[in-house]
Amino acid sequence: MFGATVDYWLLKRLAHARNRATEEELDREGSTSLLPGQEGSKLPKLLERFDGHFPIAPGLRYLDMGCGSGELTLELAGKVGGNVTGVDYLPRFVEAARRQARAAGLDDAVRFHCADLHTWVPPHPFDVVFSFDALEHIDNPGAFLRRMSDFVAPGGVAAVCFGPMFHSPFGDHMGEFFRVQVPWRGILFSERAVMRVRREFYRPTDPAQRYREVAGGLNLMRYSDFLAHARETGWQFRYLRANAFLRNRALRRLSDTICNLPRVRDYFVHNVYAVMERSAVALAANDAAEAPGAAQKLAA
């Protein structure tokens, strides 16, 4: 807003150190991927916001891409009776998820893997591939959406919910160390100033200088970017809802109107819920690529 130095002094007066911790402390004490206020059952709320479009049935095989510390993965495993796999690349999250699975007696119902999803080789395809509260943290969301298609069984679907989007009022994900929440803080204030305050009041041993470098990542993706990535990677929507947390009908109508305005929507879409399937064009291209002799024809 006023330059990195002035922005820092302004933001410093709005910050607190109550959640300050080093990476070593987080590793030693155990960690959860849940933010304050997210404790407790999440699955019923998520299913409500998917409005019946998220498949729930025993016998389906589920993959949680970016499972974090596994709370939601375990809830789903308990509901469908098993066949759930969770993958995350942060070891402390995966260890926490495995501990919770043992404590809940769900070792046989769910499997957790610590791996990079871009290189991980699954044991089989999945009927439902989903990513909850992760897509805004993925370094290359387009490649991630393309990778999701590699895990989906024929006739399967991919479900995503994520947010807050970076350009939305509180999309910088920095609320855990500010006692005064300034809307659109990540857009209004210098990135360098925000990260300096973050190091001083929140994560003193995290050397990140940019949003994209923080542990867990933050890709600055806009709603319009997500729509473009989905289209370019061959997905079509069975269900798409922005700001599904709004229950008041008047507010939902207003939100839907704003979210359809191309030059405005990126600043007001807080979160997104979507269920996707492969488009006919993408499926035809995939079949052609896998057909015998396809590689030789393409090479020719």
Give the pair of three-digit tokens for residue 260.
């359809």
- Any domain includes 288: yes
Would you tell me how many other CB atoms lie within 10 Å of the CB of residue 126? 24
Query: Is residue 210 included in any domain, yes or no?
Result: no
In a domain, residue 203? The reply is no
pLDDT in tens, 159-193: 999 999 999 999 999 999 999 999 999 999 999 99
Q: Is position 17 within any domain?
A: no
Instruction: Give 35-58 pLDDT, tens digit per residue.
Output: 444 445 789 999 999 999 999 999
- Give the pLDDT confidence of 242-274 residue by residue, as tens digits: 999 998 999 999 999 999 999 899 999 999 999
Number of domains in the chain: 1
Task: State the Cα–Cα distance between residues 116 and 3, nearest whole angstrom.
Answer: 37
In a domain, 285, yes or no: yes
Neighbours of 137 (CB within 10 A): 22
pTM flag (> 0.95): no
| Structural domain contains residue 195 | no
Q: Is residue 113 part of a domain?
A: yes
Task: Classify residue 241: in a domain, yes or no.
Answer: yes
Which of 83, 89, 229 is CA-nearest to residue 145? Answer: 229
Q: Residue 298: is its pLDDT beyond 60?
A: no
* Alpha carbon distance 224, 240 (integer Å): 13
CATH number (domain holding residue 68)? 3.40.50.150
What is the DSSP pairing of strand 126-132 with strand 110-114? Answer: unpaired
Task: Identify the domain containing residue 145 by its residue range.
Answer: 37-170+224-299
